Amino acid sequence: MDTVIKKEDIRKPENLVYKKTPLLTDKVMSYCPGCGHGTAHRVVMEVLEEMGLQDKTIGIAPVGCSVLAYEFMNIDMQQAAHGRAPAVATAVKRLFPEKFVFTYQGDGDLAAIGTAETIHACNRGENIVIIFINNGIYGMTGGQMAPTTLPNMKSSTSPYGRDVATMGNPLRITELVAQLPGTLYVTRQAVHTPVAVRKAKKAVRKAFENQKLNKGLSFVEIVSNCNSGWKMTPNVANQWMVDNMFPYYPLGDIKVNED
Amino acid sequence: MAKMKGDIVIDIDKCKGCEVCIPACPVDVIGVSKNVNGKGYNYVETVNDECTGCTNCAVVCPDGVITVYRKKIE
Ligand code: SF4
Ligand code: SF4
């Protein structure tokens, strides 16, 4: 007892329990401080590392804040036109059926301009993974209202809050694609706490494992913050997300297949 | 009883000072520095020696700047 342990004795390679995966490049990510995109990138890359898929995976980057995902994900990637990532992923997977193929898309990309591609790829049951980051706003272009913006939520184009009577209802596209016969696994996760990150990682792992089954599309939504667009500090934004986003976009599995 | 003693290394040049790691730590190891890094962010630093190496902080850090070590102490 009471032996003093020096930091040098703890900081040894054999005691290492966590370090950033080499499947993320060393570039500083272009995301705002505290943005869930960085955590979501890491979760996906950690899963690919653990499954040994670095050279067997092709990712499709979207348009939006994560347009530069290929700069940070240390795997083969292709960037798609706005909203067309599921169509590009369809082609890539059909040409390279042995590869693991996924898209990484925000809500403006996936649930607005790309709605048609999203729904038809899901309905066709393409054997790909879709990672969908939903922060309820167009982050990259300055915080405009998105289809996913909550009722009464303020954005730069709904400065008095989204009025459902004139601006329509927020789109729960994840529940929508769960109805389609082509989806195999549909889940909604988050990455704001250690527990949430660990659960999200299990979901992403299941989605990529599913691609071996050739039985349809796996769709993982990650509800995330946009602290710049929401005009809050990161921890306040995360709490706001828990209080406001989660009641409308509840976390958990929506459609699950047997392993 | 075996006890775990941990330590973290923060890459202060890459830290964006978002503070998301601070509430994630069950033993309040992390605090904001008075100093700023090359990007102008007040990076975070360890403020006590209570770390158990649970990895919570590293798991939530959006920029993956925390490395965690853990050693069993008899
Ligand atoms: S590893 Fe755990 S105990 Fe150590 S600083 Fe991080 S959160 Fe705190
Ligand atoms: S979560 Fe990461 S980037 Fe944010 S303050 Fe902590 S160490 Fe820095």
Q: What pLDDT is attached to residue B2?
A: 76
Q: What are phi and psi of A99, to 5 degrees?
A: -85, 155
> pLDDT tens digit string along B14-66?
999 999 999 999 999 999 999 999 999 999 999 999 999 999 999 999 999 99
ipTM of the complex as predicted: 0.95
Q: What pLDDT is attached to residue B74?
A: 75
Whether B1 shows a pLDDT value over 70: the answer reads no
Smallest CA separation from ligand 2 atom 2, residue: B61
Whether A1 shows a pLDDT value over 60: the answer reads no
Given a contact cutoff of 8 angstroms between Cβ atoms, the answer to whether B73 and A5 are in contact is: yes
Q: What pLDDT is attached to residue B19?
A: 98
Asked whether residue A176 is assigned to any structural domain, the reply reads: yes
Q: How far is the CA of A194 from the centre of ligand 2 (A)?
A: 13
Whether A242 shows a pLDDT value over 60: the answer reads yes
> pLDDT tens digit string along A84-143?
999 999 999 999 999 999 999 999 999 999 999 999 999 999 999 999 999 999 999 989
> pLDDT tens digit string along A6-44?
888 999 999 999 999 999 999 999 999 999 999 999 999
Asked whether residue A151 is assigned to any structural domain, the reply reads: yes
Q: What pLDDT is attached to residue B3?
A: 86
Smallest CA separation from ligand 1 atom 6, residue: B57
Q: DSSP characters for A162-174?
A: --HHHH-PPP-HH
Q: What pLDDT is attached to residue B65?
A: 97
> pLDDT tens digit string along A57-72?
999 999 999 999 999 9
The whole domain housing A75 covers 29-256
Strands A183-190, A217-223: parallel, antiparallel or unpaired by DSSP?
parallel
Q: What pLDDT is attached to residue A6?
A: 85
> pLDDT tens digit string along A173-210?
999 999 999 999 999 999 999 999 999 999 999 999 99
Measured CA to CA, the distance from residue A186 to residue A200 in angstroms comes to: 12
Whether A2 shows a pLDDT value over 60: the answer reads no
* Domain spanning B3-73: CATH 3.40.430.10: no
Residue A126, C-beta contacts closer than 8 angstroms, at least 6 positions apart: A86, A89, A90, A93, A182, A216, A217
Asked whether residue A236 is assigned to any structural domain, the reply reads: yes
> pLDDT tens digit string along A72-99?
999 999 999 999 999 999 999 999 999 9
Which candidate from B61, B67, B71 shows the least CB-CB separation from A9? Answer: B71
The answer to whether A15 contacts B70, with C-beta atoms less than 8 Å apart, is yes
Among B18, B51, B56, which would you mutate to test the A interface (most chain A Cβ atoms within 10 Å of its Cβ)?
B18
Strands (DSSP E) along chain A, which ranges? 16-18, 57-61, 76-79, 100-106, 129-134, 137-138, 144-145, 183-190, 217-223, 252-255
Strands A252-255, A137-138: parallel, antiparallel or unpaired by DSSP?
unpaired
Q: Indicate if ligand 1 lies below 6 Å from the C-beta of B44.
A: no
What are the b/e assignments for A203-229, b being 16+ CB within 10 Å?
Answer: bbbbbbbbbeeeebbbbbbbbbbbbbb
In 10 A of CB A1, how many CB atoms? 5
Asked whether residue A192 is assigned to any structural domain, the reply reads: yes
Tally of domains in chain A: 1
Domain boundaries, chain B: 3-73
Q: Look up the CATH number of the domain holding residue A67.
A: 3.40.50.970
Asked whether residue A6 is assigned to any structural domain, the reply reads: no
**Single-letter amino acid, residue A129:** V
Asked whether residue A21 is assigned to any structural domain, the reply reads: no
**Single-letter amino acid, residue A4:** V
Q: What pLDDT is attached to residue B64?
A: 97
Q: What pLDDT is attached to residue A258?
A: 78
Mean pLDDT score across all residues of chain A: 96
Which candidate from B5, B23, B63 shows the least CB-CB separation from A38? Answer: B63
